[in-house]
Structure 1
Amino acid sequence: MWSNALLVFILLCLICIAWFKEKSKRKTQLPPGPSPLPLIGNILQIRPDKLLVTLQKFQEKYGSTFTVYFGSRPVVILCGYDVVKEALIDRKDVFSARGKMPMVEYVLKGYGITASNGERWKQMRRFVLTTLRNFGMGKRSIEERIQEEAHFLVEEFRKAKGEPFDPTFFLSCAVSNIICSIVFGRRFNYNDKHFLSLLSYINGIIRIMNSAWGLVLYNFERLIRYIPGPPQQGVQYLCELKAFVNKMVEESLKTLDPQSPRHFIDCFLIKMQQDKEIVDSEFHIDNLVASTVNLFIAGTETVSSTLRYGLLILLKYPEIQGTKIHLFGLHKLDNCLGCQVHFKAGVKL
């Protein structure tokens, strides 16, 4: 019994020594930060339910660039416009690699845009940007689609009849439909059960990735298939989205006209046919499905969150509500949003 205890003690000592040696190597290369513990890092110093508040306190102590250990992995945190601009704009080639997202990588197998690196990421990114621009992203030609969806959004707002309400759901529907019109060539009704299921999957995935479970998966990615509860639920959500995109790809393939692409999936399928003789081409079904899932999730969450935050700013500064508001360049929304904003504010600014 004592021999077993001694063996465990020696093993723990060796682990600690190895960890501290590795830490001393990294210390010369990483920014300062709170002192981590072996294996668990700074987890005891971070409250998962108040992650942002904790990081802000670290910023006050260590400056705009500091290191935090989530488990045994160091994470460099950048705070403020200047350092983020320097990293992502001025030195974009150095910081262009994608970070790990274990749940996404587990389901999408490293294909697509958000979880890939190197040549695959460069090719997918270049193709996606070119295709989206061809379909009007960043141009006046997309205004027609946005105007159409804006009318549906305004009608839903008017149903509240001046009473407070939470716009989160309606903003997600509207933004997602813009993405759907470009990627799938169609929009969905806000009460479409299938569409609502897809939105709930996206919200579930984002919620799990931003929770304490996200930290667990980040540090123990190889155990993802064995951890029950939310991780398996997140995997299931991603699988459902992947199945939906697969179905849309199959439908598009049946009616594909190479001379007249209707949406993003058509353009990718045409590119696949053009590169079918290239053995190591990145244009295949796996990258098509993964890239489409990426666009669907990322496009819906980021834009709807930005719009929601803009509405919260209007709530905090009501004097601005009387001025001209040109949301998406649409003047017809002025009367709806410009003078009366009665949304239910669930976030303090």
Structure 2
Amino acid sequence: MLIPGKHQTMLSNMQKLLHYVRKRVEKNKETLDLNNPRDYVDAFLIKMEKEKNNPSTEYNIKNLVNSTLQIFYAGMETTASTLTYILLIFIKNPDVLGKVCKEIERIIGRERNPKMQDRNQMPFTDAVIHEMQRFIDLLPLGVARKTTRDIEFRGYNLPKGTNIYPMIGTVLKDPACFPYPNEFNPKNFLDENGEFRKNDGFMPLAAGKRNCMGEALARMEIFLLIVTILQNFVLKPELPMEDLDLRPDVSGFGNLPKPYKMAFIPR
């Protein structure tokens, strides 16, 4: 049964994306070297070859295509939503924005592009970006997990195959981990000397052994993109600062910011 509506466009676009990934997988298969994997697709194809006689294996073309698309889609969507939210928080907190810009000017200047090594010399900027990711709580439900055996957890019996949602939002707002759990405050990641302080409660994307494989890449992208933007542009919102709302427009599996308009004025 075909239910008409705008969702059909989304489904159609998804099929186009899957078709594109299938074509890329076929190109990899044509030039595959079992002893020299070039990327994720090659590694998956090699595993498929090793388990081709296992009828219950999960290593098949369908899972390869879907997982490859999910890696790119999830990486782009989460990073884009985080950047959109971060810029909104910046223009809502001009004092914090000013301190970050001063640190960028002092450590990097405007004559060169930022690099990841700069982050170690920019404790305030590093703390601000960490705090923004904590405050945003992009994926409050976390990514679903499933128990692989019967287990007991805090008096509850969880049978094998039970779906589990980690609820990482409860950790990001835990006062035992963060001194200012319900407000945006970079001091959550700064010590008494103004140096960056790591926090075991910081898990913005996932928790456990099967953590987000792209988390390190996302953190690198966010740092480089944000610093590059602030290095070259002044942010000017369309609305007065007091009218900007940091509450999410959509809150469920993910927290997405309310739409807003902003100008990027070259420095």
TM-score if structure 2 supplies the norm length? 0.41
| Bigger radius of gyration among the two | 1
Which structure's residues are more often helix, by fraction? Answer: 1
